[in-house]
Amino acid sequence: MKHQARKRFGQHFLTDQSVLSNLIGEMRPRADDYLVEIGPGLGALTFWLLKAVNHLQVIEIDRDLAEKLRTGAWKDKLTVHEVDVLKFDFRQLQAPFRVVGNLPYNISSPILFALLDVADQVIDQHFMLQKEVIDRMVAAPKTSDYGRLSVMLQAYYDMDHLFDVPPECFDPPPRVMSAIVRMVPKNAETRERIPHALFGRVVATAFSQRRKMLRNTWADVVPESIALEAGIALTARAEEIAPSQFVHVAQLLAMANPD
């Protein structure tokens, strides 16, 4: 029986085989890769991945789809985690691992932020997302797409917008343009130098009202002396500040307030 796509799970199934083949060409999966697919759905991408890898971990919330994967032709090559990916503990996997998925667009940002916490375990991530989200992820300062998502992710990952995927490549077609992004965590030394919680706070407050000067948005968070030491005038707005400058501010704050 044909599976009825469930809107609440953001189900848009890929049907265009050339998109899948191009994604595999970009990923270059190898037989012994420890690979995790988020949201395998009906298995369009899973099928292509299993041509290359010996075994695959899949995370699927939809009970019917998880059951199909557990009992279908590929059952011996799959470990099926029937769970909400936002509740999944990635630390239970063997590290380091690779991540791939045509993500449910309604929760793509929370998924990206959850994976940030395990960036030390990840080799790379290839995701299909709403193109508009990828534009924000890779945006440069002083552009309208540049914001909290750009800064938080660019500090931790090198990212490439690989290619766009139009709605007609899916069934049912989404209302928006999609695209594929590659995310590779920066080296451990670079990531470990970032005081994670402080950095998150400095960035979130700066962009809480992006048209306002940092003098206002940072009033209770960043003293002027620290902003100046990082080469930032408090008359600037968040969108003018590079990710490396936000990191610098967080580092200076951490040094000024050691715990």
Binding mask 22-41 for ligand SAM (x = CB under 6 A): -----------------xxx
Alpha-carbon distance of 178 to 131, in angstroms, equals 4
**Is residue 62 part of the contact set for ligand SAM (CB under 6 A)?**
yes
Cβ proximity of 185 and 120 under 8 Å? yes
**Is residue 65 part of the contact set for ligand SAM (CB under 6 A)?**
yes
**Is residue 194 part of the contact set for ligand SAM (CB under 6 A)?**
no
Stretch that binds ligand SAM, among 55-63, 138-146, 150-158, 237-245 (CB under 6 A): 55-63
**Is residue 45 part of the contact set for ligand SAM (CB under 6 A)?**
yes
Residue owning tokens 């999609």:
178
Stretch that binds ligand SAM, among 6-14, 129-137, 198-206, 231-239 (CB under 6 A): 6-14
Nearest Cα to Cα of residue 184 among 137, 222, 226: 137
**Is residue 180 part of the contact set for ligand SAM (CB under 6 A)?**
no
Exposed, middle or buried, 236 (CB in 10 Å: 0-12/13-18/19+)? middle
Cβ proximity of 185 and 194 under 8 Å? no
**Is residue 3 part of the contact set for ligand SAM (CB under 6 A)?**
no
Please state the φ and ψ torsions of residue 53, each to the nearest 5 degrees. -100, 155
**Is residue 135 part of the contact set for ligand SAM (CB under 6 A)?**
no
- Choosing from 49, 57, 104, 207, the residue that interacts with ligand SAM (CB under 6 A) is 104
Give the max Cα distance, the chain: 66
How many residues touch ligand SAM under the rule CB under 6 A: the total is 23
* Closest residue to ligand SAM, based on beta-carbon distance: 39
**Is residue 200 part of the contact set for ligand SAM (CB under 6 A)?**
no
Alpha-carbon distance of 45 to 81, in angstroms, equals 17
- Specify the pairing of strand 97-102 against strand 122-130: parallel
List contacts with ligand SAM (CB under 6 A). 9-14, 39-42, 44-45, 59-62, 65, 84-86, 102, 104, 107
